[in-house]
Amino acid sequence: MRHPFELPANRRLAWRWVALALILLLAACARTPPRNPIATWVPSPNHDIRRPVLIVLHFTNQHSAQESLDTLRTRNSGGPVSSHYLVGSDGHIYQLVSDQLRAWHAGPGRWGTITDVNSASIGIELDNDGSTPFAPPQVASLLRLLGDLTERLHIPRTQIVGHEDFAPGRKDDPGPLFPWKQLADAGFGLWPQAPLLDPPAGFDPWMALGLVGYPLEDRAATVRAFHHHFRGMQGDTLDAEDLRILYGLAQQIESAGNTPTAG
């Protein structure tokens, strides 16, 4: 016997169709970009989505992936921050922001001609406290993620930098322990090719640093960032090995035309 408050089968079916139609309508509205109510909507097919041209690597400087997920999804003491991805020390990859959207991971800084790094980049946080080596499963997952992003989003494989590279003096991640050479061996990032040669007379290392992409407002901080990235060491003065590295990098960039730009 049908319960007194139970709808007949035909009415239940009708309500299911109504509910399904509402769900589809709401889904369509969610995908519709906002329109200006004071203008007449005359759509054009001549547009595109945001296309990042740079990948920025960070360390979280926290104690667990869960702590970092909480920080990246809430308002914290320094204001709201986010990233597109977080890679746990166990290698698990989390996505927090769509590739098409602008995550808040970079802050002020400049890399080459890119002055709004958030708008031009994908941000990847690595679960690491900044003082311990990066775990092999984490690095393996990062390489897999970099392969996916560079291929799918057509980001040049050389356009992978650390937060400190474009914000020297303000940031120090991913730090001197990050395995940039391992990334280079897998084909990611800019790295000097052997053999390193002595630069010719008149070689300007500061011009070479600027060509790579580094800002030069605070030269000591820039050298520290360069040392962390390319030599895994501290120090804020250039030596002969630095000049050989910079000469090699400058030659690679000039021959390939890979000066970092906003697109």
- The CA distance from 147 to 240, in Å, is 34
- Look at residue 12 in the predicted model and tell me its pLDDT: 58
The range of the structural domain enclosing residue 211 comes to 205-256
Residue 194 placed within a domain:
no
Q: Could you give the count of Cα atoms lying within 13 Å of 171 in the half-sphere of its Cβ?
A: 22
Q: Are residues 234 and 180 in the same domain?
A: no
For residues 125 and 68, is the Cβ–Cβ distance under 8 A?
yes
Model pLDDT, residue 37? 86
Q: How much is the pLDDT for 256?
A: 81
- Asked if 61 and 112 sit in the same domain, the reply is yes
Query: Do 106 and 158 belong to one domain?
Result: yes
Q: Is the peptide bond before 133 cis (omega within 30 degrees of 0)?
A: no
Rounded Cα–Cα distance for residues 154 and 145 (Å): 13
Q: Is residue 37 part of a domain?
A: no
Rounded Cα distance between 217 and 167, Å, is: 10
3-state helix vs strand vs coil in the chain, percent to 5: 40, 10, 50
Does 29 reside within a domain?
A: no
Identify whether residues 61 and 175 lie together within a single domain. yes
CATH of the domain at 90: 3.40.80.10
Residues 135 and 231 in one domain: no
Low-confidence ranges of the chain (pLDDT < 70): 1-33, 76-77, 258-263
What is the model's pLDDT at position 259?
59
- Of 67, 125, 164, 241, the active-site residue reads 125
What are the angstrom distances between the C-alpha of 91 and each of 21, 139, 174?
40, 7, 17
Catalytic (active site) residue 125: yes
**In a shared domain, residues 119 and 210:** no
Under the phi-then-psi rule, with left for phi > 0, alpha for psi from -120 to 50, and beta for the rest, what region is 12?
A: alpha
pTM of the model: 0.85
- Of 185, 214, 245, the position where a domain reaches its end is 185
The pLDDT of residue 2: 45
Domain presence at residue 252: yes
Asked whether residue 120 falls in the same domain as residue 219, the answer is no
Could you tell me the sign of the dihedral formed by the alpha carbons of 244, 247, 251, 257, in that order? Answer: positive
- Give the chain's domain count: 2
User: How confident is the model at residue 10, as a pLDDT?
Assistant: 57
Longest dimension (CA), the chain: 98
Asked if residue 211 and residue 180 are part of one domain, the reply reads no
* Position 181 in a domain: yes
Residue 64 maps to a domain: yes
- Tell me how far the alpha carbon of residue 57 is from its chain's centroid: 6
Q: Are residues 77 and 163 in the same domain?
A: yes
What pLDDT score does 9 carry?
A: 57
Instruction: Tokens for 263, please give them.
Output: 């697109």
Q: What is the pLDDT of residue 196?
A: 95
Task: Determine how β-strand 121-126 pairs with β-strand 54-59.
Answer: parallel
> Is 11 a member of any domain?
no
